[in-house]
Structure 1
Amino acid sequence: MTSPTPPAEPTYADRTFRSPAGIVGGVLLLLLICWIGGDAVFRGHGRVPWLALAGLLTAVPLVVAFTLRPVVLANEQRIKIRNPFRTITMPWTAVADLRAGYSSELFTEDGTKYQLWAVPVSLRQRKKAARQQSRQAVGDPHGRTSVHADVRDDMSRMATADRTMADLRELVERAKTKAGAGSGKSSDSSASSVPSASSAASASSVSVRWAYEVIAPAVVGAVLLVVLFATG
């Protein structure tokens, strides 16, 4: 009689973190660029349409890269950081720390730092949240208005970036706790020592992919602009 197969752990959709202000600003900027560039392409004379096309080929990918592209995708196993020109994927076990000072940053176990473009830090919003928190604090001589103010006591009063980083830290702690429990069970059996070491090595791997779909057209457009201006 075979033993029943244990049910697999449920998989959950990625949690998405991105900047709504960046998206709105990017869409408006794209509309403005396309309006001006399209008008120059269809109504311009001589070299103007070609200059407009080269300018559009340069500007549109860069605007998309810095406004619409950045996003952080996180689930129970790993985090995926999509920055303007790179996409970084790593398991939570490779994450050493997450900090939000003047920008949001992730540090790996080997000391490498990656910036989270999708989680911008608003010092004004943070100071406002810190002031609201300080009103309920007793005997706080500093007012807690530092850019590194810790307002984790009340999630509803935290700045958006700090709230996002707190959520990510919770995922890190949960994943490392689960990994520690799993390694503790595997260490009880000498036969599983080799698979455990290999799984630990794979867990610490970090994948970095360059966004050539953004870099290539922007470089081509910039080269065309240089050529057109040089031959003009």
Structure 2
Amino acid sequence: MAAGLVAVLGAFLLVDAGVRGSWDVVLRALGPIVLLVWVLWVLTYRPHIRIDDAAVTVVNPLRRTVVPWSAVADVRLRWQIVVETISGRRVQCWGGPSLPRPKPAKRGERAVLRQPDEMTVLLDRWSERRDAAGGDVVRGWDRPALVAGAVALALLVVSLLAVTLGS
């Protein structure tokens, strides 16, 4: 939500400066605004968990991990979903649900933590597919996020050059 608001506000201000003919302002502000939106996108919107028949894919800021179902040793929900592999490595999922608030209890009853639906889907798929043939855990960089970051940095350099040359 915050990334969307910053993106809309930044775009509005850039369009406003362009309509008014202040191209020097647009050139100077474009890089920092794009970089800020990219950082917010990478930290708040981009992280996610994708489940398919072969593996669970965890996309965290700038990193991507593919864990075949046969390599999953345990799935837990702490502050966020944690996938533990048979090799002992833990993959924390930034893009999954977090611990919900406890359901209000009646007098004399204990508060019960309801498990998020996403966690139930993940556990069900793991129980169905844990015996499937699989490969190794693959970790790597999140290329779409890195390419977008490189573009944002290039725009920042252009903006900084515009400020330096314009002074």
Q: What TM-score do you get using the length of structure 2 for normalisation?
A: 0.74
Matched, 1:169 2:123: yes
Give the whole-Å Cα distance in 2 for the aligned partners of 1:32 and 1:71: 25
Name the counterpart of 2:53: 76
Give the whole-Å Cα distance in 2 for the aligned partners of 1:105 and 1:43: 50
Name the counterpart of 1:214: 148
CA root-mean-square deviation: 3.1
CA contact (8 A) 2:3 2:37 kept: no
Name the counterpart of 1:127: 101
Name the counterpart of 1:100: 77
Matched, 1:58 2:39: no
Give the whole-Å Cα distance in 2 for the aligned partners of 1:31 and 1:46: 19
**Of the two, which has the highest radius of gyration?**
1
Q: Give the letter aligned to residue 5 of structure 2.
A: L
CA contact (8 A) 1:41 1:53 kept: no
Residues 108 and 43 of structure 1, relative CA distance in 2, 3 Å threshold: farther
- Which structure carries more strand by proportion? 2
- Which structure carries more helix by proportion? 1
The C-alpha deviation readout for 1:78-121, integer Å capped at 9, x for no partner, is: 11223332232221112222222223322222233333222242
Residues 37 and 46 of structure 1, relative CA distance in 2, 3 Å threshold: closer
CA contact (8 A) 2:31 2:153 kept: no
Q: What TM-score do you get using the length of structure 1 for normalisation?
A: 0.56
Give the whole-Å Cα distance in 1 for the aligned partners of 2:138 and 2:21: 48
Structure 1 unaligned runs (5+)?
1-23, 152-157, 180-198
Residues 215 and 97 of structure 1, relative CA distance in 2, 3 Å threshold: farther
CA contact (8 A) 1:30 1:63 kept: no
